[in-house]
C-alpha cells in the first residue's frame, strides 16, 4: 500500500509553492505578498482577470488566491475559465470576497472555487486555508521531478528514466507522460489529452493521440517491464500499473 501511496508524489521538496495573487487593490496585494513570502511561499501577482489567465499559463502556480471583485473580468469568470481548461482544471483556488451574502459564496463554490475567505480576514486564517488546500492537492510544482512507480521525470533537465535506465522520448511523448504523471490513475479521453498536451483549438485527429501513446509505450516499457499506460476501452488512457 505504501508503494502505491508514494506513486505520483513530487520527489523534490526543495521548491517553495507558488501562489498567484489576483487582486486589484495595491495595498492588499502588497500585504499579501509580504506575508506569503515571509511564510516561505513564492508569489506572482495579477491585477485583473485577463492578466491572471496569462500568469497562470506562464507560471503554472500551485494555488490561486482570487479576489471576487476585479475590474473587467470578475473573479467568478476567472474561476470558471480555470475550471474549463484541462491543464488548470484541478488548480486549487481560494476566493477572497468582501461580500457576506450566503448566495454569493455558494455561487463561488458552484463555479469551482475550492474554498473562500471573507474580507477582512486574518493572515493566520488565510495561511491555514492555503496550507490545508495545498496538502489536499499534493501541491504539484511546474518544475522539479515527477515520480510514478519506477519512472522519474526530470522537468528541469527534460530527462526521463525508468528503473535507473534512461528513456528517450520525443517532445510530444515527454509532454504526454508529464501530463499523465501529474494526474496518475485518472482516465483522460483522447480529446482531453489533445487539449492538454497539444493545446486547445489545435485541429489534430484524436487518432494522433493513439500514435503517440504507442510511441510512449515502446519507449517507456522495457523488456519484461509492466505496461504503465492503461487503455480504457471507449474512454481513453490512464497512467496505471494495474491492468484492467
Residues at the interface with Ca ion (CB under 5 A): 24, 67, 69
CB of 89 to Ca ion, least distance (A): 25
CB of 63 to Ca ion, least distance (A): 18
Q: Which is nearer to Ca ion, 9 or 104 (CB)?
A: 104
Q: How many CB atoms lie within 10 A of CB 102?
A: 8
CB of 33 to Ca ion, least distance (A): 15
CB of 24 to Ca ion, least distance (A): 5
63 phi-psi bin (left φ>0, alpha ψ -120 to 50, beta other): beta
Q: How far apart are CA 12 and CA 46, in angstroms?
A: 27
C-alpha cell read off for 241:
500499473
Q: Which is nearer to Ca ion, 81 or 86 (CB)?
A: 81
| 56 phi and psi angles, rounded to 5 deg | -60, -45
Listed in sequence order, the residues at least 6 apart from 181 whose beta carbon sits closer than 8 Å to its beta carbon are 8, 146, 147, 148, 151, 153, 239
C-alpha cell read off for 174:
515527454
| 211 phi and psi angles, rounded to 5 deg | -60, -45
C-alpha cell read off for 185:
490513475
Q: Which is nearer to Ca ion, 20 or 216 (CB)?
A: 20
Q: Which is nearer to Ca ion, 67 or 195 (CB)?
A: 67
Q: Which is nearer to Ca ion, 24 or 225 (CB)?
A: 24
CB of 81 to Ca ion, least distance (A): 18
Amino acid at each position: 500500500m505504501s508503494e502505491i501511496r508514494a506513486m505520483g508524489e513530487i520527489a523534490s521538496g526543495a521548491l517553495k509553492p507558488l501562489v498567484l495573487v489576483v487582486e486589484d487593490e495595491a495595498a492588499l496585494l502588497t500585504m499579501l505578498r509580504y506575508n506569503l513570502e515571509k511564510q516561505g511561499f513564492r508569489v506572482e501577482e495579477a491585477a485583473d482577470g485577463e492578466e491572471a489567465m496569462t500568469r497562470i499559463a506562464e507560471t503554472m502556480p500551485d494555488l490561486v488566491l482570487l479576489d471576487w471583485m476585479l475590474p473587467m473580468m470578475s473573479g467568478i469568470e476567472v474561476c470558471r475559465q480555470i475550471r474549463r481548461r484541462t491543464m488548470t482544471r484541478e488548480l486549487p483556488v481560494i476566493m477572497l470576497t468582501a461580500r457576506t451574502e450566503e448566495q454569493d459564496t455558494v455561487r463561488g463554490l458552484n463555479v469551482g472555487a475550492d474554498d473562500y475567505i471573507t474580507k477582512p480576514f486574518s493572515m493566520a486564517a488565510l495561511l491555514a486555508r492555503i496550507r490545508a488546500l495545498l496538502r489536499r492537492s499534493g501541491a504539484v510544482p511546474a518544475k522539479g521531478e515527477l515520480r510514478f512507480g519506477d519512472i522519474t521525470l526530470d522537468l528541469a533537465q527534460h530527462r526521463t528514466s525508468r528503473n535507473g535506465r534512461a528513456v528517450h522520448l520525443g517532445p510530444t511523448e515527454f509532454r504526454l507522460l508529464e501530463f499523465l504523471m501529474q494526474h496518475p490513475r485518472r482516465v483522460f479521453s483522447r480529446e482531453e489529452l489533445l487539449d492538454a498536451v497539444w493545446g486547445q483549438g489545435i485541429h489534430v485527429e484524436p487518432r494522433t493521440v493513439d500514435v503517440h501513446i504507442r510511441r510512449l509505450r515502446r519507449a517507456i516499457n522495457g523488456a519484461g517491464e509492466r505496461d504503465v499506460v492503461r487503455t480504457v476501452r471507449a474512454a481513453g488512457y490512464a497512467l496505471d500499473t494495474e491492468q484492467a
